[in-house]
Chain A
Amino acid sequence: MESIIKKALELAAVEYLDIRLEESTITQIVYSGKELEKAGTNKKKGGSVRAFHRGSFGFATFNSIDELPKAVEEAQRLARISETKGSGLKKVDPVKDRIIAVVDDNPLEHGLEEKVDLARKYNEIILSAGEKIQSSRVLYEDRFVKTYFYSTEGTELEIEKIYCGVSFASFARDGSNVQMAFNSFGDQRGFGTVLDHETDVEEVVKHSLDLLKAEKVEGGVYTVVLDPRIAGTFIHEAFGHLSEADHMARNEKLKAIMKKGSRFGPDYLNVIDDGSMIGERGYIGYDDEGVRARKNYLIKDGILVGRLHSRQTAELMGEDVTGNARAIDFSFMPIVRMTVTYIDRGDKEFEELLEGIERGLYVIGALGGQTELEMFTFSAERAYKIENGRIGEMVRDVVLSGNVFETLKNIEGIGKDLVLYGGLGGCGKRGQFPLPVSDGSPHIRIKNVVIGGK
C-alpha cells in the first residue's frame, strides 16, 4: 500500500498534493416497530487526491487503488484549469504517525446476532409499554474506518477509528396526537457504550407518553434554563458555526465583527473546541489535512480569542492552524468543521439557575438545530414551565431561536455539571452530513429567548 502511494506522489507537479485512502465497514441494525428493518454489514473503500495550485484545488475520487495514478493526473489537471492566482496554504511541519483505535471492548469482535439481540431487547421495552405506544425505532451502529493520508510535504499518517452507538425513539399516539421521545449514546470508547441502557429506554417511553398530555408551548419571549444536551446544541449552532473561519476568511466586514478581543459574553463564559479528547465521538487525533488536533479556546472569559481553521483559511487570515479541516469520508474535500465543542463549567448550582425566574422554561433534550450564523434555531424534545423559581408542568413543541450577538450576552448563569454528548447523528455543512461531532455544556440560563407558538 505504502509503496503504491509513494509512487503516485512522485507524479505530483503542483504546489501541493495529498492522497487519502479509506476503508470502512459499517454494521447497522434498525428496528422499526415490530419489524427488524435492517441488519447487516456494508463495506466501502476508495480514495481521493487533492491537488493545490495557484490558490485553488483540484479533487478526484476513485474506488479502486489501480485508478490512483489516473486520479493524481486528473486532480492536477483540475487544479491547473483556473488561471487565477490566490494565496497558498499555511505551512505546517510534516508528521509521521500511526493511530490505532484503542477501545475497551471492540464491537467488531461481537457477532451480528448479539447486536440484533441487544437492539431487540431495547425495542421490546418500548413496544411492551402499553397500547398508547404506537411504534418504535431502535438503531445500533458500529463503524470501523481506516485511513491512510500521505502528502507531498512528507506527512504520512495511518489512522483507525471505531465508532459505536445506539439510539432509541418511542412514538406514542392518542387519536391524532402523535408524540416522539428520543435518546442516543455514541462515542469511540467501544461496545460498553451501547450496553445497560434499559433505564434510559424506559425513560424515553415515559417521556413520549407524558408528551401526549403536555400542552403546546405558548409563543413568546422567555427566560430559559437549558439542560446540558440542548445547551450543547445551542453552543454548536449559535457560536460554533460562526467560528468556522471559511465564512470570514475573505470577508472584511465579518472579520471586523469577529475581531479577537471583542466581548461576546459574560466573564464566566468559556467556549472550547477540542479534537484531541480521546474516546469522544468528535475525537479526531489529526484532521483530514494531517494537522494535529488540539484544544482551541474560542471564547475565554467572555472574550473572543480563537476560531477554527483549515490550512487555507489560516493562511488567508495570517493565523495558526487549529486542526479543523474535516471531510465525512474520502469522497469529499475537507472543509472547516467542529470536533468536540463545549461550554466549560461555571460555578452555579442547578437551583441557583432557577432562582428568581417568574415566567420561564426548563428546556430538555435536543431534536436539532440550524444556523445562518447570526440567527439560529434549535429545538427541544420537551420543556417544563418555570413559575416563580419552581419547575411546573410539561409543555411540548418548544423551538427556540436567537441572535448570536445578543443571546450569548444574555447568558445569566452557567452550572457546574458539564456533560459531553456524541450520539449517532452529526453535523451537516455544504452537503457533508453526518459528520461525527460531540457537543456539551453544563446547565445554563439565558434570558430573552424567542419561542414560536400560539
Chain B
Amino acid sequence: MEKIVEILKKKDLEGFEVYLEETESNPVIFEQNELQSLEKKFDRGVGVRLIRNGRLGFSSTNDFESPDEVVEYALESARYGEKVNYSFPGPSETADLQIYSDEGWPEKERIEIGNRILEELKGLARDVKIDMELDYTRKKATIINSAGLQVEMEKTFYSFEISGFTITESGFVWVYEQKASLKPLPPFDDLIRKLLKKLEHADRTARSKSGELKVVFAPQALFSLIRPFAVGLSGKNIAKKISPLTNRIGEKIVGENITFIDDGTIPWSWGTRPFDDEGIPVKKRFLIEKGVLRGYLLDLNTSSKIGMESTGNAFRKYSSLPSPSFNNLLIEPGEIPSSEIFKDIDYGIVVHSVIGGGQSNLLAGDFSLNIGLGFLIEKGEVVGRVKDTMVAGNVYDCFNRVYAVSRDTEALGPYILPYIAFEKLNVTAKE
C-alpha cells in the first residue's frame, strides 16, 4: 500500500485516494441436516481513485506485486473518467464506537451448536430439512488520501442464519431466521421457537379473497417495501433527477406515523462504523421524520452534484467505486406489540416472506409481490397459509395508509424493522 501511495505522490494529480481492504471470513455450513463445509476465505485488495484534469480515474487489484500497474490503469481510466467537482476529505474527529470484538467463534463450537439444533428439531414430528450458516468474519479497511487523511477501521461480524424446508399439505414451505451482530451472539432458542411457530401455522392452507384487504408486513417481508425507498433516497437517483423524491426535502411524503432514521452509531449493530468508506464521519440522521422528507443518502460524488454535503453513507468494496446506502436503517417503532395488531384483524393477511422483491418499477415505488410465506387471519386467529396470492401497490401511496406500527422490532443485518400494518392493499388470489 505504501508503495502505491509513493507512486501516486509523484504523479501530477489534483487528488488521490487508496482504499485497502482485508477480509477473512470463516463460515461453517450445514446443508439439508448435515455438515456440508467449513471455509476460510481470505481476500486482500486495493482500490485506487485519482483525479487528473478534473476527471476521475479508478482501478483495483489484489496483486500487490505490481503496484505500478494499478496506478497506470487508474491513470488510463482518468483520461475518459467522469468530470468531478469534489475533493477528498482531510482528517476529522470520529466517535469511538463498539464495532470490534475479537473473542472469536471457534469452528468446533459452531459445529456443536449446529448439531444441537439439528438434534432438537429431529425430536419433533415434522420432517424439516435445515440449512445453517454460522459465520465469523473480520474486516479491516484503511483509507489514505492526498488531503492527509489516514484512517483504519477494524470490524468483526458474527452471524447465524437458519432456513427450514418442508413439504406439507400446503406445498413447499420455507421458513427463515437470522441473527447478526458485531459481537458474539446470544443463544438461538428464541429464533428456533419462532421458526417452529411458522412451520406450525403453515400446516394448513387457506384461501384468501381477492380485493383490498388489511395486510401486515413482518420485518423479513417489509424489507421488500424498503427497497423502493432505498432507491428513491439514493443520491445517485437524486442527482440524476429520476427519483420521485428529487427536490422534495421538507415535504410530507408519507404518513405521520412513519419515521426512517439512518443511524450508524448504534452499538454493535451490523452497519455501525465511525466513518464511511470515504472517511466521512458517520452520524445519526433523520431521512423521514413523521412523514416529512428530511434527507438523502449521499457520498462525496452524489452530494457534490446536488450542492449538499456528504452524509457519510458511502459503501464500497476495494474493487468498486463508492455508492451511497444505509448505515443502519431504523424504522421508528410504534406503541402496540405485533401480537395485538394480529388480534385486532377481522380479515387480513400477515406476510412473512415474498418472492420477487425488486422486480417492479422500484424508482416509481411500485411493488408486486408473490407471497412466499403468509397467513390468512380471521377474527384475530391464524386460519392457514395463503398460496398463489399476490400483493401489489406503491410505497409512496400505501405508506400513507399505515394504521399500526409495532413496538417490537427485528434486526436484519443493518435493518431494524417493526411490523407494519396497511389498511388496504390489493390482493390477487387464484380462484
A residues with CB within 8 A of B: 29, 32-33, 35-46, 55-64, 74-75, 78-79, 81-82, 84, 86, 112-113, 116, 134-135, 171, 173, 176-180, 219-221, 246-247, 249-251, 253-254, 257, 331, 333, 367-379, 396-397, 399, 401-403, 448, 450-454
Contact = CB atoms under 8 A, between A and B. Distances in A.
B426 interface: yes
Given A178-B364, A453-B428, A372 B59 contact: no
7 contacts: A45-B63, A64-B64, A219-B210, A372-B355, A377-B356, A401-B355, A450-B390
Nearest to A45: B63
Given A59-B40, A82-B111, A450-B388, A399 B359 contact: yes
A64 B359 CA distance: 39
Given A251-B32, A399-B392, A452-B390, A46 B62 contact: yes
A453 B392 contact: yes
A134 to B, nearest CB: 5
Interface residues of B, number: 78
> In the complex, which of the residues A42, A79, A180, A448 has the most CB atoms of chain B within 10 Å of its own CB atom?
A42
A35 B83 contact: yes
A63 B390 contact: no
A251 to B, nearest CB: 5
Contact of A63 (B34, B38, B43, B236): B43
Query: Top 8 A-B pairs ranked by shortest CB distance?
Result: A377-B356, A40-B77, A452-B390, A379-B359, A399-B368, A452-B368, A374-B172, A219-B428
A37 B59 CA distance: 13
Interface stretch (B181-189, B239-247, B376-384): B239-247
A331 B171 contact: no
A81 B83 CA distance: 53
Contacts of B58: 38, 40
B388 A401 contact: yes
> In the complex, which of the residues A39, A86, A134, A177 has the most CB atoms of chain B within 10 Å of its own CB atom?
A39
B167 interface: yes
Contacts of B77: 38-41, 112
A250 B359 contact: no
A180 B129 CA distance: 40
B63 A43 contact: yes
B165 interface: yes
A43 B64 CA distance: 11
A283 B96 CA distance: 50
B36 to A, nearest CB: 6
A180 B364 CA distance: 10
Given A61-B41, A135-B241, A221-B430, A43 B390 contact: no
Contacts of A371: 355
Given A171-B240, A399-B370, A452-B390, 17 more contacts: A38-B77, A38-B81, A40-B74, A41-B73, A43-B73, A55-B34, A58-B37, A59-B37, A59-B41, A64-B64, A78-B39, A112-B79, A177-B364, A369-B356, A370-B357, A399-B368, A399-B390
> In the complex, which of the residues A40, A42, A78 has the most CB atoms of chain B within 10 Å of its own CB atom?
A40
B390 A219 contact: yes
A257 B167 contact: yes
A298 to B, nearest CB: 18
Contacts of A403: 171, 387-388
B233 to A, nearest CB: 15
B356 A40 contact: no
B80 A372 contact: no
A36 B82 contact: yes
B335 interface: no
Contact of A451 (B107, B111, B428): B428
A351 B37 CA distance: 52
A38 B321 contact: yes
Interface in B379-431: 387-392, 426, 428-431
Nearest to B73: A41
B57 A40 contact: yes
